[in-house]
Structure 1
Amino acid sequence: MKVLVDVDRCEGFASCVLSAPDVFDLDERSGVAVLLVEEPPDAVLADVQDAVRSCPVRAISLA
């Protein structure tokens, strides 16, 4: 599983960081989500899926 973040759509709500803090963070300058782990382990799959569902602007996807 590969996580993708569309930085042009991200508005910095940080719901992804709350759902999967080991995978996402917010850039301090731009305020948009950044990936800490592009291909996270299966152990955090449920958290990443929650982050995808909880993003209000649908800026996160799985490939």
Structure 2
Amino acid sequence: MTAAATSGQISIKLDTGRCLAYGTCVSIHPEVFALPKGARVAVVQRDVADASELEDLEEAVRSCPARAISIGTVD
């Protein structure tokens, strides 16, 4: 992410074809990610976040064993 991203909103994407429901993202940022009981993949509860959440989102991206999460800037 760039410095410009820290002043705007961040888009959140989850590749459900890659997600294996490890739940790491949920433990890092439960306000954005969820793992419903019996689910085969995690769920993104909202696809846009505030720049103040950037650090947690970057940690979720780095920590995902399946590399299923991506973030970017909202145009």
- What is the TM-score when the length of structure 2 is the normalising length? 0.76
- In structure 2, the gaps of 5 or more residues are 1-9
Report % sequence identity: 38
Q: Partner residue of 2:14? A: 5
Q: Report the number of matched residues.
A: 63
The 1:28–1:13 alpha-carbon spacing in structure 2 relative to 1, beyond 3 Å, is same
- In structure 1, the gaps of 5 or more residues are none
Kindly report the root-mean-square deviation, in angstroms, between the aligned alpha carbons of the 2 structures. Answer: 1.1
Which residue of 36, 39, 43 corresponds with 1:34? 43
After superposition, residues 1-63 of structure 1 pair within 5 angstroms as 1-63=10-72
- What is the TM-score when the length of structure 1 is the normalising length? 0.89
The 1:50–1:42 alpha-carbon spacing in structure 2 relative to 1, beyond 3 Å, is same
Larger-gyration structure (1/2): 2
Please list every run of at least 4 consecutive aligned residues from structure 1 whose deviation after the TM superposition is greater than 6 angstroms: none
CA shift at 1:28, angstroms? Answer: 2.7
CA shift at 1:25, angstroms? Answer: 0.3
